[in-house]
Amino acid sequence: MTLPWNEGSIPLMLAPMQGVTNEALRTCYLERYAPDIVFTEFVRVHTQSRKRIARVELAEIAANSSKSTLVVQLIGNHGRALAEAAKQLQDVGCYHLNLNLGCPYGRMTTGATGGELLKDPDKLAELLTALRREIDGSFSIKCRSGYSDPRQLLQLLPVYEDCGIDYLILHPRTVQQQYSGRADHDLTAEIVNLTDLPVIANGDINSAAMGQRLLLETKVAGLMIGRGALADPWIFQRIRGELPAEVDEKQRRLDLFELINDLLPRYLVKFCGERQALMKIKDVLNFIPDECLQRDIGKLKRTTTAVKFMALLESRFLC
């Protein structure tokens, strides 16, 4: 299968978010909220070790590769190391791979990674070519529109096409912008018209209405949603028209209760101790934007035990 979605369908993807979209959260979303495709947090490729991917990390990915359409996102800066990592992943059954070219914090001790690779198009072309040569399944990139110039992508697009990627995930901000300003989806629409590559829109898709509008106006092949999916886990069904596009405060409280009530037991199993599990849950709460919920969310974030956390969650959110 060349692409991780069926021909003619519109893929809605859960974005990789470092430190947040771990295996437990991805499984929760697949079971309850139905994104079509999920991505790992970025998998760091080591240049100084023969084990290009940490053994524990590789084992966890292998254990989950057959559960759904899982895309493994790599981050690294050495062509041979990335190619060898791709082979390791395919050997354990992972056939959909992605290279991170968007992280604004992507630096390893051995050099630039993530969005910083956009500063060197020649090296970038070498990396992409080395990866494409090794990957038998789908190969994609998740990129920013440029390092400092928001229109650098116009020069990079031929590089991506020539290196043989299968689809492009575009977050139309520069690396230097990080997450400030707004995602320029006028640029997304322009890129769609300039390439035959399927383009997946990413960035500031914070409501079903926004997602539906992007699909209609830009003609992108699909959507990748990160923060918006944490703020409203049902956003995938809302975009498909399977649920109402908007809900009232009572329903939002119930939705949040159901999400956290499902996640916390998984986190207590996955993470080392109650304190770390609660910290990870509180990281998810940071993405809930509703002003009417902030007072109670603040109280949840100040709890120190799972028992107190759940008691407060039930009393304030289970309406």
Q: Which helix (H) or strand (E) holds 259?
A: helix 249-270
Whole-angstrom Cα distance, residue 112 to residue 102?
12
Q: Which 3 state secondary structure label does DSSP give 163?
A: coil
Catalytic residue among 28, 103, 143, 163: 103
Whole-angstrom Cα distance, residue 189 to residue 186?
5
Give the residue ranges of DSSP H helices in 49-120.
55-64, 79-91
103 is catalytic: yes
Q: Which helix (H) or strand (E) holds 252?
A: helix 249-270
Encode 139-148: b = buried (16+ Cβ within 10 Å), e = exposed: bbbbbbbbbe
Any idea what DSSP says for residue 318? Answer: -
Beta bridge partners of 202: 224
Any idea what DSSP says for residue 319? Answer: -
Cβ-based burial of 157 (10 A; exposed 0-12, middle 13-18, buried ≥19): middle
Nearest to 41 by CA among 56, 67, 61, 55: 61
Tokens read off for 52? 């290009």
Which residues are known catalytic residues?
Answer: 103
